[in-house]
Structure 1
Amino acid sequence: MSRLRTKEANLLSKKSSILQPGSATYGHFRNSRRFNPADITEVMHIADKALEIAIATRVFKDRQGITNEELEEGRIQQNLRPTAIGQNCIPLPTCPLIPDKYRRIDGACNNIAHPTWGAPFTAYSRLLPPNYQDGIWSPRVSVVDEEPLPSPRLISTTIISDIDSPNHDYTLLVMQFGQFISHDFTQSMDMSYANGSAISCCDLEGTSILPPESTHYACMPIPLPHEDQFYGTFKQKCMNFVRSALAPSHDCTLGYSEQMNKLTHFLDASSVYGSTPEQTRELRSFHGGTLKVFDDFGRELLPLSKDPLACLTMEQGSACFESGDTRTNQMVTLVVMHTLFLREHNRLARSLQALNPLWTDEKLFLEARQILIAEMQVIIYKEFLPTVLGEEAIREFGLGLGYEKEYSLDYNPAINPSITNEFATAAFRFGHSTVDGQLRLYGPTKMEESIAIPEVMFYPSRMRHQKFLDEILSTLTTEPIQDVDPFMPEALTRYMFRGGNPFGVDLASINIQRGRDHGLRSYNDYRELTGLPRLKDFAEFGPEIAEKLYKVYRSVDDLDLWVGGLLESKAPGSLVGPTFRDIIADQFARLKKGDRYFFENGPSINPGYFSPDQLKELRKASISRIICDNSDGILLSRQAPKAFRKPGVPGNEFSDCNGPEIPSLDLSFWQA
């Protein structure tokens, strides 16, 4: 470890080994930053501890002659806490004997027997053991000759095309809400230097990969093919890629490396409130239970960011926002979702104060937060998941909600709710295929503007335009989603995070490389896990796809999970194929059944349980109601009740926001 630290110190003195602001890949790095610099220090401190355990595992493996298979099977069960290296384990939080009424901001102590489950800065869980070449952390290699797997960029340009394939049954809101909730429970963080500087794995011009003596141990750069028709124009041969920060395992034993989730793993609206008490304090107004806002001439917007690197420009008059998640400004449509839920919290807090004028700021904040989390959970399980997964998966995995005043009996303290690596790094990234490369804004009779997605990445100043919020909400709830398939817009495969540069990074390549970084096994292994037969030949995907796959992969058992999942035929009634469907359904079953504070749980389980009447009201929640209550009301006064579905058709006609078709919660049941 000391040798690595010495090399890192030497690299810090070289400009070429530090990623400089302004580049597209720096935009990717910036995307994982927190506005609180202390969090970066904490992440790297935990990652260093995990790396020490990985190094100790490698030494132990070599001395004892342990095989990779034995590591995968978890046969090294020695508890490290009583040993000298035990200081590197995740500290166990002190949990009260009587559980708190409200879930903790940091998610800890949800399960008293496993108090770190679901807490931030802890490891993802796994459906299958990872596939590392050395059993510990080295990326997997081809099953044919143990040579490196093909370049992710070569796979991207061969398999992923920019073809318009709209699915007119569903709206763009599916994509945008999916991204919003994914930022509620999963975020990896690239490793960085101890001082927070970004690591560079390519030379300053991107024309070559840095030589070994100038390469940080966390480097895993993506080689760009010589014949790349896009990046070749700019003489690019290297796309920067830095490995994810590690975390010690929950049980604190020697073994393979695990990646860190720096958010709470629960569905707890941490994207609104943050995942640490320090973040939450920064976001609260401490007046009437509300969150801070930026008052833009009477319109409540997210508070302005203090981080000078949070957006492309911080010049006077521009807007760059702050929320419970650092990625807020990544897309202006994401800013819109954050704005809706910020306003919803403040609307709830003010309504509760009117009903209970003696409640303190703290009481109002906690009650409004508890209601908003429940609303989000209802929207996810009642509207979003049936749309993405289909009713068959809802029944099979027990994802349905109860009826009116009934409490749930689903809670199982043996279920670890933590986000699985396969879900975070592959399956839930299906949403990248659903992005449309253009945002179309409509006037009363015609389209008035079409905005290329890269033009509003880290540049959300349009939020200050008076009509823009309502215009975007109209677009999200009427324009069709792109289908889930091996098609992605060039906005994501050429221009992601480009800023002012002529090119950006390729999100498809990043997804493939991230899966390898995290040790995901091949697609075939997950097919087998979900009960499907293993593929024996690429021809099973059909001749057109098979021809492309043969060009890049040497074996069907080399196929990356994210790629294979996008190539699958749809499961019945689902937007995704059966492998992704089951991985996603399994995760949301864990989040429902492994969360003591899930809104449906009754007094024998949930210390902050809702009354039967409150439960009945909460089940009325809908994303359409959130939009109706929190838009600016300039252009929006009507909304289809099922906002994820095609509007204006029988059964989903446009309805007045004040009418009974889009029910409102009766908050009088919260009057003390």
Structure 2
Amino acid sequence: MVEQRSPRSGRRPAASASRPEAAFLRAYRQAYQRLAVTVDHRIGWDRLPTPLGLAVLKGLRDLLRRENLFDTTDYPAVDLPPIEPRRARDTIERSADGTHNDLGSPRMGMADSRFGRNVPPERTFPEPEPQLLAPSPREVSRALLTRREFVPAESVNSLVAAWLQFMIRDWFTHGPGTMADPWRIELVDDDPWPTRPMLVPRTIPDPTRQPGDGLPPSYLNQSTHWWDASQLYGDSLEAQRRLRTGDGGRLREPENGAMFFDDPEQDPANTAGFWLGLAMMHRLFVLEHNAVCGRLQDEFPKWTDEQLFQRARLVIAALLAKIHTVEWTPAVVSHPTTVAALRANWYGVLGERVHRLFGRISGSEVLSGIVGGRTDHFGVPYALTEEFTAVYRMHPLIRDDWSFRSAGDDTVLQEATFRELAGPRAYELLAKHSLTDLFYSFGTAHPGLVTLHNYPRFMQEFERPDGKLVDLGAVDILRIRELGVPRYNEFRRLLHLSPAKDFESLAQDPDLARELSLVYQGDIERVDLMVGMFAERRPEGFAFSDTAFRIFILMASRRLNSDRFLTRDFTPQVYTQAGLDWIEDNTMSSVLLRHFPDLRPAMASVANAFAPWQTTGPGA
């Protein structure tokens, strides 16, 4: 079991060291962390040679682990739902609802448990009205987010947008909100919005809290917090059963365009945020799950449906975590230092070749990576955080206009707008075009750069499944404020970054600086977190901001460190050797080519499936 420590501190005593030695080590680590911050402020980690940049990033991560993990589960709680007692199988299988991942704390990370925080809880009280609504989220959206012309992120393809939404469906959701007492956003005279005022649901308060306890607000994550592929398998046993065939461990495969849900309330197309890219990723990994089942059945012909399903789920969840760690994230933050750092999270700085030849040769996560090492919560019960949720609001990745083309010769099959890709309309495209052609079309198209004036115009007038219009740009701004995530400058201070001195230093472009100053009435401290992140200078190769990256430095590794199925139980005894080999030997490219081999000509020249593919046809 992981050592239990103060929920307010990431500091960890050196268990085997004498007190003087432990004090010396703590002093050394803290001095190293302070030096990393100083170098980062004066030079910037991204301007250093890769070895020095890696050393600075390690110091920053250690500091964030020590000072930017805060527990919310220690707030008083009432009416906690009962959980099933631990079964013997829970030691080798992921539960459907995320319970018993930590065997000593069975509720940790389960569905419907609280989000944690990366900033001190006393700094997370939301502003009172009317300050919380100032400046108007709608006016921020109109003035600063509206896409004037599409700005592409040329180093990646549009699979990065589909993948991100696919991951988010695994990680977190606050739920649909409540209209019992909605937010009321007043509109200016020239605003064309069809209803006045604009009404936005409030996030549902934490039902396990005692009203008036005086502590900062908290909210529940309806998904499990673990990296357990719940977007494929569901967050409850009931949901899981609906998705399975009951034969050979396999999942049900959609046919004829539509999904396989008989009950419309269970169809993901009727939930907000569903679109074609999400459906494509879901189908791809249903096929991959069933391929893993076939491999395991060959290896273990006497295994039951349940045994095959549970092992395949472990394999798929780990494969998704690997793809995100060593392929997706290095593609969207493709600076040489961050590519090396992210691969080191999985393989260690000794690299993949040493890992393949010798496995883990050290208990150090620096040398041999996090995966397969010891489980560590760094003194704070594991949970995804509100700040992690806030920095993952990256809707500019989505294109407004799409061209679907043949993977065989690049001929145009259909032009479409994003509105035709969203909600149940996605099924029409799935029925009309092959998945080979759809993946080819995504792989050869750039997503948008995560920057100001690049927010998808259709998302500013997005039609929900219930027919109501939503300006998702305004909602993004409002949600971050509502959930008590600090505004941009304060957020940076709390993450050990220098705040923006003025609008000119933030935006660099004089015209944009004037726009920002006008919207925020000359007060740099009022700039919203998302707006500041979209405006700031990006390191070389980054599709999004360095401020957002600070949360990734901390949380990308934490999701691995805390999960025993990716650390101490990442073993042949739990996964089977065949399962571990599947994870080791596969990439996003091999997954795509296994199920859609006709993509090979387009993918032949790319080392990373999220990099732009080569077009086919006579002019290629």
TM > 0.5 between the two?
Answer: yes
Question: Which residue does the alignment assign to 2:345?
Answer: 399
- Select which of 231, 255, 267 maps to 2:227: 267
- Select which of 373, 390, 400 maps to 1:409: 373
Confirm or deny that 1:389 pairs with 2:355. no
The alpha carbon displacement at 1:533 in A equals 1.1
The one-character-per-residue Cα deviations of 1:205-230 (angstroms, maximum 9, x if unpaired) are xxxxxxxxxxx33x2133222222x4
Question: Which residue does the alignment assign to 2:307?
Answer: 363
Q: Which moved more, 1:480-489 or 1:171-180?
A: 480-489
Question: Which residue does the alignment assign to 1:339?
Answer: 283
Question: Which residue does the alignment assign to 2:45?
Answer: none
8 Å contact kept, 2:75–2:215: no
Distance 2:601 2:496 in 1: 47
The one-character-per-residue Cα deviations of 1:454-483 (angstroms, maximum 9, x if unpaired) are 122112232553633222100111111211
Question: Which residue does the alignment assign to 1:304?
Answer: 260
Question: Which residue does the alignment assign to 1:551?
Answer: 518
Structure 2 vs 1, CA of residues 249 and 401 (structure 1 numbering), >3 Å: closer, same or farther?
farther
8 Å contact kept, 2:122–2:216: no
Matched to 2:161, the amino acid is: M
The one-character-per-residue Cα deviations of 1:160-209 (angstroms, maximum 9, x if unpaired) are 131211122211111111111111111111334xxxxxx3xxxxxxxxxx
Q: Structure 2 matches for 1:288-327, cutoff 5 A?
A: 288-296=248-256, 303-308=259-264, 321=267, 327=271
What secondary structure is seen at the aligned counterpart in 2 of 1:448? strand
The aligned length equals 519
The one-character-per-residue Cα deviations of 1:615-649 (angstroms, maximum 9, x if unpaired) are 45422221112212223x56767534421012349
8 Å contact kept, 1:381–1:399: yes
8 Å contact kept, 1:537–1:556: yes
Confirm or deny that 1:173 pairs with 2:159. yes
Higher normalized helix content (fraction of residues): 2
Distance 1:265 1:478 in 2: 33
The alpha carbon displacement at 1:329 in A equals 7.4
The unaligned stretches of length 5 or more in structure 1 are 1-71, 81-85, 193-198, 200-215, 311-320, 655-672
- When normalised by structure 2's length, the TM-score is 0.75
Question: Which residue does the alignment assign to 2:589?
Answer: 624
Question: Which residue does the alignment assign to 1:117?
Answer: 108
Question: Which residue does the alignment assign to 1:514?
Answer: 479
8 Å contact kept, 1:442–1:449: yes
Distance 1:478 1:451 in 2: 16
Question: Which residue does the alignment assign to 1:377?
Answer: 321
Distance 2:308 2:82 in 1: 31
What secondary structure is seen at the aligned counterpart in 2 of 1:330? coil
8 Å contact kept, 1:462–1:468: no
Distance 2:93 2:69 in 1: 38
Structure 2 vs 1, CA of residues 148 and 463 (structure 1 numbering), >3 Å: closer, same or farther?
closer
Question: Which residue does the alignment assign to 2:470?
Answer: 505
8 Å contact kept, 1:392–1:573: no
Q: Structure 2 matches for 1:237-252, cutoff 5 A?
A: 237-247=196-206
Question: Which residue does the alignment assign to 1:486?
Answer: 452
The one-character-per-residue Cα deviations of 1:465-517 (angstroms, maximum 9, x if unpaired) are 3633222100111111211211335443433126797x932111110011112
Structure 2 vs 1, CA of residues 117 and 354 (structure 1 numbering), >3 Å: closer, same or farther?
same
Q: Structure 2 matches for 1:10-159, cutoff 5 A?
A: 80=76, 87-89=78-80, 91=82, 94-96=85-87, 100-129=91-120, 139-140=127-128, 148-159=133-144
The one-character-per-residue Cα deviations of 1:25-74 (angstroms, maximum 9, x if unpaired) are xxxxxxxxxxxxxxxxxxxxxxxxxxxxxxxxxxxxxxxxxxxxxxx999
8 Å contact kept, 1:93–1:109: no
8 Å contact kept, 1:122–1:261: yes
Confirm or deny that 1:186 pairs with 2:186. no
Structure 2 vs 1, CA of residues 73 and 127 (structure 1 numbering), >3 Å: closer, same or farther?
closer
- Select which of 405, 420, 435 maps to 1:442: 405
- When normalised by structure 1's length, the TM-score is 0.70
Identical amino acids, percent of aligned pairs: 23
The one-character-per-residue Cα deviations of 1:569-595 (angstroms, maximum 9, x if unpaired) are 112432222111111232211101111
Distance 1:129 1:562 in 2: 19
CA RMSD of aligned residues (A): 3.5
Distance 1:75 1:627 in 2: 39
Distance 2:207 2:614 in 1: 51
The one-character-per-residue Cα deviations of 1:252-303 (angstroms, maximum 9, x if unpaired) are 986221121100111111000001111101111111111123444xxxx774
What secondary structure is seen at the aligned counterpart in 2 of 1:167? coil
Question: Which residue does the alignment assign to 1:455?
Answer: 420
What secondary structure is seen at the aligned counterpart in 2 of 1:334? helix
The alpha carbon displacement at 1:546 in A equals 1.8
Matched to 2:95, the amino acid is: R
Distance 2:221 2:71 in 1: 25
Structure 2 vs 1, CA of residues 334 and 73 (structure 1 numbering), >3 Å: closer, same or farther?
closer
8 Å contact kept, 2:70–2:119: no
- Select which of 544, 569, 574 maps to 2:542: 574
The alpha carbon displacement at 1:307 in A equals 3.7
Question: Which residue does the alignment assign to 1:8?
Answer: none
8 Å contact kept, 1:292–1:302: no
